[in-house]
Amino acid sequence: MTNESTSSTPLRPPVGGFQEIDGRRLYLHRQGTGGPAVILLPGASAIGLDYFGVQQGVSRFTTAVVYDRGGTGFSDDAALPRTAAEVATELHELLHAQGVPGPYVLVAHSLGGAYAHGFAQRYPQDVAGLVWLDAFHRDWDDYMPAEASLAASVRLSPTEEQLRQALPGIRQMAAELLVDFPADVRDAVVEYHVSERWIHAGIAERASMADLAVELRAGADLPDVPLIALTPLGVDPGQQALMSEEALRAMHDGKTRLYAAMVDAVSDGEQRILPDTGHSQFVFERADAVVQAIRDVVDRAGRA
Averaged pLDDT, 180-196: 95
Average pLDDT of the segment spanning 133-143: 97
Question: Which of 63-76 are b and which e, b meaning 16 or more Cβ less than 10 Å from the residue's Cβ?
Answer: bbbbbbbbbbbbbb
Contact 265, 222 (CB under 8 A): yes
What Å distances lie between residue 221 and 26, 109, 120, 138, 250, CA to CA? 28, 18, 9, 10, 25
pLDDT at 241 over 50: yes
- Strands 64-67 and 79-80 come out as unpaired
Q: Which pLDDT score is estimated for 152?
A: 87
Q: Residue 1, CB half-sphere, CA atoms under 13 Å: how many?
A: 23
Q: Based on the number of CB atoms within 10 Å of its own CB, is 170 exposed (0-12), middle (13-18) or buried (19 or more)?
A: middle
pLDDT of residue 1 exceeding 70: no
Residue 147 pLDDT exceeds 70 = yes
Give the mean model confidence (pLDDT) for residues 276-294.
95
Q: What is the mean pLDDT of the segment spanning 170-190? A: 95
Q: In the CATH scheme, what architecture does the domain 4-303 have?
A: 3-Layer(aba) Sandwich (3.40)
Q: What is the pLDDT of residue 242?
A: 65
Residue 304 has pLDDT above 80, yes or no: no
- The mean-pLDDT minimum among 33-37, 152-156, 168-172, 204-208 falls in 152-156
Task: Give strand pairing partners of 80.
Answer: 4
Q: What is the pLDDT of residue 67?
A: 98
Sorting pLDDT into bands at 50, 70 and 90, what band is 303?
confident
Q: By percentage, how much of the chain surpasses pLDDT 90?
A: 83
Residue 299 — pLDDT band, cuts 50, 70, 90? Answer: very high
pLDDT at 10: 52
Specify the pLDDT at position 248: 82
pLDDT tens-digit readout, 104-137: 999 999 999 999 999 999 999 999 999 999 999 9
Whether the predicted pLDDT of 243 surpasses 80:
no
274 or 157: which leads in pLDDT:
274
Average model confidence (pLDDT) across the chain: 93
Percentage of residues in the chain having pLDDT higher than 70: 94
